[in-house]
């Protein structure tokens, strides 16, 4: 990965205990940022923090956070400001899905997915905006999905809706916060072999009927390949990019 200059920037990453969140932690630490790691599983957060501290000499803060709870998100930002004095970058990465046909989805299922995937991003953005607006600078990166643009045979209506909501929320907040020099963009990953989606690769039917036919490039993704997109959007190289969703999908949405 090209090393972007994010020296001493303070970044909060939700859902940082595993998967793409762990990749973002490595990316920002390698680029010189101070990394705040937030998720529910504290022991996994501490392992990620230890890894990036050793590999990149990064300064870290672990905050056990249930993004489904408003008070946890408020506390996350407060602890970050207490330790580092500011917030420069927010990566709204926390996500989950529930696979059920529509007629079996309960209101609780729907609300759970919406709270984790969409409402948490709204709340975290609201809280960091209170820090970013006075200093007239900041970067917010929402992690959406290619499924925010299209449906599939997977019965995950709440997941698709929440990820589509992140796309339009990105645009709305880019317009609202632009006058304060705060950039808001999104990344839409395709199929990456994270713990959350590894089952899709292991399922031959899904792999051969849904993933392979819509992957334009002659290889599947490696988890590390998401790193550059996040650091680019956070860097000065992207200083005039806002309201955009960058697909990192091997051409999945090109079909």
Contact predicate 229/31, CB 8 Å: no
Contact predicate 172/114, CB 8 Å: no
Residues 138 and 146: their CA atoms lie apart, in Å, by 25
Q: Kindly provide the b/e burial profile for residues 218-229, where b requires at least 16 CB atoms within 10 angstroms of the residue's own CB.
A: eeebebeebbeb
Could you confirm whether 4 is annotated as catalytic? no
Catalytic pick from 56, 159, 160, 252? 159
HSE (side-chain half, CA atoms, 13 Å) at 59: 12
Residues 184 and 244: their CA atoms lie apart, in Å, by 8
What is the residue-wise DSSP string for 28-85?
HHHTT-EEEEEES-HHHHHHHHHHHHHHH---EEEEE--TTSHHHHHHHHHHHHHHHS
Q: How many residues does the chain have?
A: 255
Q: Provide the annotated active-site residues.
A: 159
């Amino acid at each position: 990965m090209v090393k972007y200059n994010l020296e001493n920037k303070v970044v909060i990453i939700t859902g940082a205990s595993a998967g793409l969140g762990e990749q973002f932690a490595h990316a920002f630490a390698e680029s010189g940022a101070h990394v705040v790691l937030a998720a529910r599983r504290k022991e996994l957060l501490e392992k990620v923090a230890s890894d990036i501290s050793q590999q990149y000499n990064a300064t870290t803060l672990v905050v056990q956070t249930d993004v489904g709870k408003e008070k946890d998100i408020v506390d996350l930002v407060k602890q970050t400001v207490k330790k580092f004095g500011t917030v420069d970058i927010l990566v709204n990465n926390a996500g989950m899905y529930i696979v059920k046909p529509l007629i079996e989805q309960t209101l609780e299922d729907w609300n759970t997915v919406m709270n984790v995937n969409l409402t948490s991003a709204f709340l975290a953005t609201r809280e960091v905006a209170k820090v970013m607006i006075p200093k007239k600078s900041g970067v917010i990166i929402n992690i959406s999905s290619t499924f925010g643009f299209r449906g599939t045979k997977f019965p995950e209506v709440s997941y698709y809706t929440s990820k589509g909501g992140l796309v339009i929320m990105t645009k709305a907040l880019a317009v609202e916060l632009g006058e304060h020099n705060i950039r808001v963009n999104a990344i839409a990953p395709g199929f990456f072999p994270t713990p959350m989606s590894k089952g899709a690769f292991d399922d031959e039917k899904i792999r051969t009927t849904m993933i392979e036919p819509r992957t334009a490039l002659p290889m599947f993704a490696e988890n590390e390949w998401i790193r550059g997109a996040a650091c680019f959007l956070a860097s000065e190289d992207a200083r005039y990019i806002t309201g955009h969703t960058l697909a990192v999908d091997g051409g999945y949405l090109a079909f």
